[in-house]
Amino acid sequence: MPEPQIQTGAVRRDAAKRRVFARLSIGAGNALQVTGILASFLALRLSQSARSTAVSIFAMVLAWLLLYFFCHAIAHWLVGRVLGIGFLFYTIGGTGNPGAWPKGLRWIFEHLPFFGVQTEKASMQNVSPGAKALMWSAGVTSSAVVPTLSALVSWRSGVPFSGWFLLFALAWALATLASNWTSQSGDYSKARRALNRS
């Protein structure tokens, strides 16, 4: 995720651990993320209509995964643009919040292809602290809520084993929110710092 303009030493150390694999223009990044989100809806529909239990379960999990990977950075961008924040480019790389994961999972999440988005410094300086806080909060909130809604839809549609998957999705969402809230490099910490500077 994009780094705040003023950082503490702890945040700088955590953010420096993010492995960036690629950089995309805003247009290309938005197109790729929208494609991923549309693919998740197709997978969700397949999970509801497939005659095979295995295909239904696979499609349900795929829909959740696609939303988890593709809704975060675009939520930052969308909320930020509405509030007057400009962005330079997207990055694809490991988690921007490695300290939130236990050692066993940390290595995996440092190597997964998460989207990040880089803010434009001048526009960040010209918007209110509340606008910055909303932009920072949009990403992780979207990562927790949107995939969980897909699991809820699967459960309401009667997809096999969707009740158990919904419980997993809810636990994952709560853990995502909690770990981000306590991490110094998480989006919610960036939002709090923006509000504290007001």
77-130 pLDDT tens trace: 999 999 999 999 999 998 877 777 778 788 888 888 999 999 999 999 999 999
173-186 pLDDT tens trace: 999 898 888 888 78
Is residue 194 within 8 Å of 132, Cβ to Cβ?
A: yes
d(CA 135, CA 77): 8
- Residue whose pair of structure tokens reads 């999990």 in the numeric block: 61
With both helix axes pointing from N to C terminus, report the angle between 72-82 and 26-49 in degrees, rounded to the nearest 10: 120
Degrees to nearest 5, angle at CA 150 with 154 and 103:
115
d(CA 5, CA 12): 11
Side by side, which strands form the sheet with 20-24? 20-24, 87-93, 114-119
Q: Where are the domains of the chain?
A: 9-196
11-63 pLDDT tens trace: 333 444 678 899 999 999 999 999 999 999 999 999 999 999 999 999 999 99
**Segments in 9-128 forming alpha helices (H):** 9-16, 26-49, 53-70, 72-82, 103-111, 121-126
pLDDT of residue 3: 38
Q: What's the Cα-to-Cα distance from 104 to each of 18, 101, 113, 137, 197, rounded to whole Å?
A: 17, 8, 18, 27, 35
